[in-house]
Amino acid sequence: MVSLSTPLDRLVVDAEKEVDLLALPRSDVESLVRDCYSFLPPPLEIRIEGGTAHIKILKKPPKPHRMRPNFIAAPPSLPSRAISQGPSTS
């Protein structure tokens, strides 16, 4: 889970005009914040408390993939140097 907290007076919800989030009803602010952070993966939990927006990403991030060794094993019928030298161009 990832949490983010930001003061409402520093949060930009409209690049073209200034919006005073502290003067709006809490439900409107939550809706605007949800729209601003819609690029985050759902589900999101958004709370407005004391002039601060608290945003939590509830979904756990995926586990990183384990890297497998990057090699090609020679089949039993071929010598290993045939694989390591690549195909013949003659």
What secondary structure, in 3-state letters, does 46-77 show? EEEECCEEEEEECCCCCCCCCCCCCCCCCCCC
Hey, CA dihedral for 62, 67, 68, 71, is it positive or negative? positive
Return the half-sphere exposure (C-beta side, CA atoms, 13 A cut-off) of residue 50: 3
What pLDDT shows up at residue 42?
82
What's the predicted TM-score (pTM) here? 0.59
Bridge partners of 53?
A: 6, 48
pLDDT in tens, the chain (90 residues): 788 899 999 988 888 988 899 999 999 999 999 998 888 888 889 999 989 999 998 876 667 766 666 556 555 665 555 555 555 555
